[in-house]
Amino acid sequence: MDGLQAENSGDTAEEKYRALACDTALSTLLAVVVYVLVKVSLDGIRQWRARISVLIVGSGPVGLTAALVAVRSGKVLKLTVLDERYRSALLCRPQQIALDPRSVKFLLGLGVDFDNMEGCWHNDHFFTRIGVFQEYLLSILEQKRQQVDVKVQLGTKFTEEYLRRIPRKEWPSVIVVADGSCGDSCSVLGISSDYTVESCHAYGANATIERLDQRQVPTPEIRAHSLYFDLSAYGVEAFREHRNPTSKPGFHLKIYGTFRNRYMALVCPTSDTKMVRFLRHTANSSIMKNIFHQSFNAYKTDIEPRLSDVTCHHMQCSRRLFEIQLSHRRISAAYIEGDNVAVTVEGEAARVLNFDTGFGVNLGMRGLESMGSFIYRTATAVDQNDILEALSAKMQHSRHVAEAFRQTGLAESMYE
């Protein structure tokens, strides 16, 4: 009897122990679930409420587009755009830009309405003047002032003195440098000016001519391919080389710009043919001018006048073929630790092509495709490591943009 009672007592104690262990596990699990839910909720509220101040240096097409990306991110409380040029100097720029389909799609996603912008369409490309594009983006930013504190300070240069005048508590969390290849904002911020220079495996030459009797009307570009030039007068037998099946493809020509400001680009893949060697090393600067002169008259639009010998005299062009190279910054993003500021470099300040194809703005737009994500990650960062990870991802994207253009950029803008 006593043994039976002892056995029942042991079973009861074991059941109580099991019940206690189960209750403890359930309580712990419930506490963990509550903690996770509370933390996720608080993190969600913090991320939802997170807002930062952004400073953009440069109000060119890339800088103003970066400003629009910042506003559209929903994470910017205050946006300041600086440029040392005044509004009249910005909006009177005669250069024409050609936005390719990828850039058009990107800008449409930012709310850009091309139907309300002066320009023209051709093969899914949109052509307009830089000044028109900048004025349109400025008007959008002015409309966003009800949502974000937007300040556009034109005629103001970004200097160390400008930074010293900003109260510490009002320092921006993100600075976007988009002041072009000649800007010195990176040096003000202590960012290295070292560039990596890489070949695009092609040779090229550029030409430009201004005809004051023509209007600043945006016009689609003209492309011609597989061109060979008769340089027999200079001792180069081009046609015999052309018939050689082992010879490389010929030249590619692009005519672009407004009717008043006409630009031409001539490019060929790297080769060692007699013609290419001759045009790379010739000391006769009139040869390239004659090539551009004849090419323009052969491929111009029907409604514009031919180049005469008089107008040809005013043409400016490359003296000879040169190697096309892309330079991009070794450091395209940085973190100023003492001031807790994340810096990213965009546009020509980050990547410079020594060959003008009229598509340079598209290269800048490629870098901005990761800007929205970068601002979001910076605004919602918990600590410095989160910011550094955002900067690392931004630098990786910048390197990818440079590599992709070096591999296929000329093919998209010239060869095809």
Find all residues with CB under 8 Å of 218, minimum gap 6, and list them: 96, 118, 119, 120, 127, 128, 129, 258
Other CB atoms within 10 A of residue 216 CB: 15
Which helix (H) or strand (E) element contains residue 199? strand 195-210
Domain ranges of the chain: 1-49, 52-194+330-410, 198-324
The rounded radius of gyration (Å) of the Cα atoms in the chain is 30
**Which residue is listed with tokens 């598209």?**
362
* Cross-strand partners of 98: 127
pTM for this prediction: 0.85
106 in Cβ contact with 81 (< 8 Å): no
The angle subtended at Cα 276 by Cα 264 and Cα 358, nearest 5°, is 20
342 in Cβ contact with 174 (< 8 Å): yes
User: What letters, b where the CB count within 10 A reaches 16 and e where it falls short, cover 125-143?
Assistant: bbbbbbbbbbbbbbebbee
Find all residues with CB under 8 Å of 94, minimum gap 6, and list them: 129, 130, 131, 216, 258, 260, 261
Give domain 52-194+330-410's CATH architecture: 3-Layer(bba) Sandwich (3.50)
- CA distances for 39 relative to 182, 380, 382, angstroms: 47, 14, 13
SS3 80: strand
99 in Cβ contact with 122 (< 8 Å): no
291 in Cβ contact with 266 (< 8 Å): yes
Instruction: Count Cα neighbours of 122 within 13 Å in the Cβ-side half-sphere.
Output: 13
d(CA 229, CA 227): 7
Digit-coded pLDDT (tens) for 45-81: 445 456 899 999 999 999 999 999 999 999 999 999 9
Other CB atoms within 10 A of residue 383 CB: 7
Find all residues with CB under 8 Å of 214, minimum gap 6, and list them: 258, 259, 260, 304
d(CA 208, CA 27): 78
Other CB atoms within 10 A of residue 36 CB: 10
Reading the chain (416 residues) residue by residue, the pLDDT tens digits are 555 455 556 567 777 777 777 777 777 777 776 666 655 554 454 454 568 999 999 999 999 999 999 999 999 999 999 999 998 888 887 789 999 999 999 999 999 999 999 999 999 999 999 999 999 999 999 998 888 899 999 999 999 999 999 888 889 999 999 999 899 999 999 999 899 999 999 999 999 999 888 888 889 999 999 998 888 888 776 545 555 544 456 899 999 999 899 999 999 999 888 889 999 999 888 999 999 999 999 999 998 888 887 777 789 999 999 999 999 999 999 999 878 899 999 999 999 999 998 878 999 999 999 999 999 999 999 999 999 999 999 999 999 999 999 999 898 888 88
* Cross-strand partners of 341: 336
Q: How high is the pLDDT of residue 3?
A: 54
